[in-house]
Structure 1
Amino acid sequence: MAPLAHALALLAMAVAAAAIDVVPLDMAWESFDDQYRGCGPAMTAALPALRLSEFQKNPLFTRLWVKAAAEWRKRGFRVSPLSSPAQAIAVMAYSSKDVHQQFNEAVRRAGRSPQEYRKNFHFKTLHFLLTHALQKLRQAQNPQCRNVFWGVPGTHFQARRGQAVRFGHFTSMFPRKEIAQKFGTDTIFQVVTCQGVDIRAFSMYPMKQEVLIPPYETFEVTQVIWDGKTTWIRLRSTGTYSKYNCEWLWKRTLGALPPRKTRPGHHSTGSGHRDPVSHEDTNDTYVTVATDVTDVTDVTVATVANIITQTP
């Protein structure tokens, strides 16, 4: 190889290597990890006003909601086994990927403090609905553990065997390694998840057979391998952990609420964790507001469409 060509090849390799981020895998302590244990009905009742406020503050969420609601109606208004049309639309909105990166980045930092969540996190509606939708789907699918894969481009994750970790955001994985590798091969995760659920019935792209894992599931790192090109990481579910619980309702109600937070570093029934083997959690009773169907279909679409036209 000529000296100039050789130098250019080395430069290209250096640039490619520099483009790979190295990120430590940890417990994602700044994640907003609320499971809304014990406050589903109260949170649902607060949803219409909260959703309207976020439609005004977050144009991206507004447009996404209209698109997802239209697709949901086109597919025949399916709700079961979810509790409400809003939950179905939330799953469809997330799976569209139009807001995937921005939403998950916001989830990963919204737990820095209660103030960060209240003032700067404008996906409260989507977070609540998506969390409850995954919980309902898990119940309907007879809680089970699944072996899934996640391919990540542009990032080498660092982890050590025996380490406790969380993803800290909603994470899409797939039952087949071949599908996961189409999304990236710099890091490949092989994960045994007991909280992740099959969302294909409400997904924009059901052919992907997507399994969605919530931010609060905890894992143990069981293997880390570097083969010179790809970092291979195996994780095994160990339960759940949440620092926050029913955060939006604090200072907004005079009624009794479940514990606001768990003690740092501890699992609790408040976080939905009982048995690290069975992964059984408490069964909450969910109710919906009577006007919810019209809110998320006809009325909301018309109102939001008007908001969109007024947004620069």
Structure 2
Amino acid sequence: MLLWKALGRRKKSVALPLDMATDSIDDMYEGCRSQTASVIDLFGVFEWHYNRNFSIAWALVESSAKKPVHTQLKEDHAIVLYMYTKLKYIQHVFNQAVKTGKHKYSTYTFRFHYFYYFLTDAIQVLHENQTLCRTTYHRTWELFDHNVINTNMRFGAFTWAASSKQSFDFNGNVSCFEIYSCFGADITHYSATKQKGQVLIPPYEVFKVTDVLTNDPWCSVVYKLQSTKAPRRDLNFLVQRRQKRFVAVVLGALLVMIVILVIWRDAI
């Protein structure tokens, strides 16, 4: 009997919160885009050597990524968009790091600065040339809290959504979201998936939950979200502010690597 009660309590606690995701990384480089672009290559050098998942994934998709057709996009923008939509394990590991990485951001313990910058910048560049706001749909297998009407929330990670309920990627029918986004961008041209209407929503966009529908034919629970059009970016400009500290760490790490290589070479 006690075991049954314990299991019952555990089952009831499965629902995940829909809140402001205060532990997430939410830098949108507002007011410091060009300054960050000037130092981001240093992050790339460091992360290429110390994040093997990142460097191996990059090598796998680099030759397959689409060529940029937007004037402000570089090949690296196209590669990260292709990588995000092609490699599920990179998408998962990266999003988990973004969801929980607030206190690691702009330090060497967060290993996706380069990836995060180019993904965020790509969304912003594409968004400038598209419809500012659009309705999108996102499906999950997760169970979320129902008591959230009239509250604000963020996804806290990059959210891959579709322009129709007939999603390009069947990704669950437990909790679904009808999202009116004003910061997401259509990434279809650069995606590894060949279906139209693919939208990527950044982690800093804030939504108001306007309704929660249960037993909907489309999904068990449908959350209707409306963009507040006022993003939350607690970490804005942080990379640039901590640039000198990070440069010292990176140069120190690279120096250690060079010394090790020299010793190894001399020992052969």
TM-score range, shorter chain: 0.7 to 0.9
| Cα 1:67/1:209, change in 2 over 3 Å | farther
Which TM-score applies when normalising by structure 2? Answer: 0.80
User: 3-state DSSP class of the match of 1:22?
Assistant: coil
Distance (whole Å) between structure 1 residues aligned to residue 111 and residue 26 of structure 2: 15
Where do residues 105-254 of structure 1 align in structure 2 (5 Å cutoff)? 105-111=96-102, 113=103, 115=104, 117-141=106-130, 143-179=131-167, 182-207=170-195, 209-227=197-215, 230-239=220-229, 240-252=231-243
Kept after mapping to 2: 8 A contact 1:26/1:164: yes
> For residues 124-149 of structure 1, what are the alpha-carbon distances to aligned partners after superposition, in whole Å with 9 as ceiling and x for unaligned?
001111111100000111x4211111
Match of residue 39 from structure 1: 32
Q: Which amino acid aligns with 1:139?
A: E
Match of residue 78 from structure 2: 88
1:47 Cα deviation after fit: 2.1
Which TM-score applies when normalising by structure 1? Answer: 0.69
> For residues 98-136 of structure 1, what are the alpha-carbon distances to aligned partners after superposition, in whole Å with 9 as ceiling and x for unaligned?
31111000001111x2x4551321000011111111000
Distance (whole Å) between structure 1 residues aligned to residue 33 and residue 73 of structure 2: 11
Mean CA deviation greater in 188-197 or 243-252:
243-252
Distance (whole Å) between structure 2 residues aligned to residue 221 and residue 179 of structure 1: 21
Kept after mapping to 1: 8 A contact 2:106/2:242: no
Match of residue 58 from structure 2: 65
| Cα 1:153/1:251, change in 2 over 3 Å | closer
Q: Which amino acid aligns with 1:28?
A: A
Distance (whole Å) between structure 2 residues aligned to residue 21 and residue 97 of structure 1: 28
Q: Which amino acid aligns with 2:76?
A: A
Instruction: List gaps (5 residues or longer) in structure 2.
Output: 1-6, 246-268
> For residues 137-186 of structure 1, what are the alpha-carbon distances to aligned partners after superposition, in whole Å with 9 as ceiling and x for unaligned?
00111x42111111101433434211011111000111111217821000
| Cα 1:198/1:157, change in 2 over 3 Å | farther
> For residues 216-267 of structure 1, what are the alpha-carbon distances to aligned partners after superposition, in whole Å with 9 as ceiling and x for unaligned?
001110001222971111000002111011211214359xxxxxxxxxxxxx
Distance (whole Å) between structure 1 residues aligned to residue 168 and residue 82 of structure 2: 20
Distance (whole Å) between structure 2 residues aligned to residue 116 and residue 41 of structure 1: 19
1:79 Cα deviation after fit: 4.2
CA RMSD between the two structures? 2.5
Q: Which amino acid aligns with 2:70?
A: S
Q: Which amino acid aligns with 2:33?
A: G
Distance (whole Å) between structure 1 residues aligned to residue 33 and residue 163 of structure 2: 30
- Percent of aligned pairs with the same amino acid: 26
Match of residue 30 from structure 1: 23
Match of residue 286 from structure 1: none
Distance (whole Å) between structure 2 residues aligned to residue 108 and residue 217 of structure 1: 13
Kept after mapping to 1: 8 A contact 2:20/2:156: yes
Kept after mapping to 1: 8 A contact 2:153/2:207: yes
Instruction: List gaps (5 residues or longer) in structure 1.
Output: 1-13, 255-312
Distance (whole Å) between structure 2 residues aligned to residue 69 and residue 181 of structure 1: 23
Q: Which amino acid aligns with 2:149?
A: R
Kept after mapping to 2: 8 A contact 1:159/1:221: no
Q: Which amino acid aligns with 2:114?
A: T
* Consecutive aligned runs of 4 or more in structure 1 exceeding 2 Å deviation: 17-21, 154-159, 225-229, 251-254
> For residues 45-68 of structure 1, what are the alpha-carbon distances to aligned partners after superposition, in whole Å with 9 as ceiling and x for unaligned?
212221010011111111121223
Distance (whole Å) between structure 1 residues aligned to residue 147 and residue 52 of structure 2: 37
Mean CA deviation greater in 178-187 or 35-44:
178-187
Kept after mapping to 2: 8 A contact 1:192/1:236: yes
User: 3-state DSSP class of the match of 2:120?
Assistant: helix
